[in-house]
Structure 1
Amino acid sequence: MEMARSMLQEKHLPKAFWAEAVYTAVYLLNRCPTKAVQNMTPIEAWSGKKPSAKHLRVFGSICYVHIPTEKRHKLEEKTEEGIFLGYSTQSKGYRIYNLKTKKLIISRDVEFDEDAVWNWDEEKV
Structure 2
Amino acid sequence: MRRFLLHFDLPQPLWVEARMTETYCVNVVPNTVRGMEIPYSVWYGETPAYARLHIFGCAALTYVDKVERRKLDAKAKEAIFVGYSREKRGYRFLDSMTTTATTAFYEEARSSPEFR
Could you say which TM-score interval applies, normalised by the shorter chain?
0.7 to 0.9
Contact 1:62 1:81 in 2 (8 A): yes
**Paired residues for 1:77-96 under 5 Å:** 77-96=74-93
Q: Secondary structure at the match of 1:81?
A: strand
User: What TM-score, normalized by structure 1, do the two folds share?
Assistant: 0.81
Deviation at residue 70 of structure 1 after TM alignment: 3.2
CA RMSD, 1 decimal: 1.5
SS in 2 for 1:54: helix
Q: Distance in 1 between matches of 2:63 and 2:103?
A: 11
Amino acid aligned to 2:75? K
Contact 1:86/1:96, CA 8 A, preserved across alignment = yes
Q: Name the count of aligned residue pairs.
A: 111
User: Does structure 1 residue 76 correspond to structure 2 residue 103?
Assistant: no
Question: Is this contact kept in 2: 1:66–1:110, CA < 8 A?
Answer: no
More helix by share: 2
* Residue identity (%): 30
- Spell out, residue by residue over 1:39-63, the C-alpha distance to the aligned partner (whole angstroms, 9 max, x if none): 0111112222111101111100111
Partner of 1:36: 33
Amino acid of the residue matched to residue 90 of structure 2? G
Unaligned runs of 5+ in 1: 115-125
Structure 2: tracts of 5 or more residues without a match: none
Q: How far apart in 1 are the matches of 2:12 and 2:83? A: 15
2:21 equivalent in structure 1: 24
Comparing both chains, which one has the higher relative contact order based on Cα–Cα distances under 8 Å and sequence gaps of 6 or more?
1
Q: Distance in 2 between matches of 1:44 and 1:110?
A: 23
